[in-house]
Amino acid sequence: MGRKFFGTDGIRGETNTGAMTAEMAMRVAQAAGAHFRRGDHRHRVVIGKDTRLSGYMMESALVAGFTSMGVDVIMTGPLPTPAVALLTREMRADLGVMISASHNPYRDNGIKLFGPDGFKLDDDTEAAIEALIEQQPSLVPAAHIGRARRIEDARGRYIHAVKQSVSDDISFDGLKVVIDCAHGAAYQVAPSAIWELGAEIVTLGVDPDGTNINDGVGSTAIAAVQAKVIEEGADIGIALDGDADRLIVIDEKGQAVDGDQIMALIATRMAEKGELTGGGMVATVMSNLGLERHLAERGLSLERTKVGDRYVLERMRAGGFNVGGEQSGHMILLDHATTGDGTVAALRVLASLVREGRPASEVLHRFERVPQVLHNVRYAGGHPLEADSVKAAIADAEAELAEKGRLVIRPSGTEPVIRVMAEGDDEAQVEAVVTRICDAVREAAG
């Protein structure tokens, strides 16, 4: 049975509509509070947020919901998603909540939930919470209402933690780094962590006003950081998204480096040092075939999952892997974090620059990408992938690519979009295949 509220990464949507209202946030908190309220101890939840204007409204609604269920609330203020996961575990909380719509524009917001171990909830737990959302909550007596307070040292705790991901003998002295925080959750912590390790920093996207998050900056709008790297003559550029769980790197020539190349760098270096576990790494079906070939040449495996960092994480935990991620920039390094952490991944990349003493364009170019084409088709409603004409177009494409490439077609988990991706050694063939399928989807969708 499909989930009604939860998508691939929590609950997300346009603020004040559908499932993203203050009323709904309170109901989610009451349902989550009821689900995690076990035993006689004082229950507590950690709540963080990014810099969206609606974050205050959603935070207040969540506080009301949790306290009405007898759960104490600890508010951190603006903080990256991985920091909330970290503090949930460190503060022995029963659950954690991040208020963010990640790379989406400010009009959207979302609610991500973490269990007491700092990991995102599995499908069964989300399904149980969904069932409780639509039931009347059992509120606690007045004497047992939860308390709420803010903590002032959350940022410092997180900065200290991420710096531990770099060896004590590493200093970033001599590196000039442009860091773009997307006017988002990491606008203070990420520049501080990199500066404290010795780098000269140039900042972008560090002046949030509630409505400018991800607006022309960050990991999904990299033109600004690319230009700044060239203008400043920087060694490297770091671009995070709104909640800082995603990373895109820009080399000294202004060229973008995606998650596949970053994962290849981190995984192979760890393998050389005997630190890589699981015999390889985990990525999604969207990662480039070139990454798979690169790892295979070094005796390492690439296990693929469906799209979504939560599914990557589930496979990592099941298979004993400590490196995984997505081409889009989610990097999961389980030795240091329980979820994707753009700042931790950035520090590992900077450490590699120091270790190798070569330009970023050389250090980060680990393999030749196989030509890959990805097109998105937006639709108004219905189920275009179920149309016979679309199924026929897909079957023809699969037969044409056969052993020469891959085809991945999937609906987005957060918006009404069909993503059509193909890759193979013949770029013209790949482009033609994707175009035909997209045309079929558009026609079926009307």
Active site positions, annotated: 102
d(CA 61, CA 58): 5
Kindly provide the residue ranges of all beta strands, DSSP E only, lying in 290-365, ordered along the sequence: 301-305, 323-325, 331-333
Half-sphere exposure of 128 (CA within 13 A, CB side): 11
Q: What is the DSSP string of 110-166?
A: EEEEE-TTSPBPPHHHHHHHHHHHTS---PPPGGG---EEE-S-HHHHHHHHHHTTS
At position 215, the amino acid (one-letter code) is D
- Residues facing 418 on adjacent strands: 377, 411
Question: β-strands 71-78, 43-49: how paired?
Answer: parallel
In this structure, are residues 109 and 12 in contact, taking their beta carbons and an 8 Å threshold? yes
Q: In the numeric block, which tokens belong to residue 397? A: 């494409």
Helix axis angle for 259-272 and 342-356, nearest 10°, is 60
DSSP 216: S
* Amino acid letter, residue 234: A
Identify the burial level of 26 via C-beta atoms within 10 angstroms of its C-beta, where 0-12 means exposed, 13-18 middle and 19 or more buried.
buried
* 318 sits in which H/E element: helix 309-319
Q: Side by side, which strands form the sheet with 417-424?
A: 372-378, 417-424, 405-411
Please state, in angstroms and rounded to a whole number, the distance separating the CA atoms of residues 196 and 198: 5
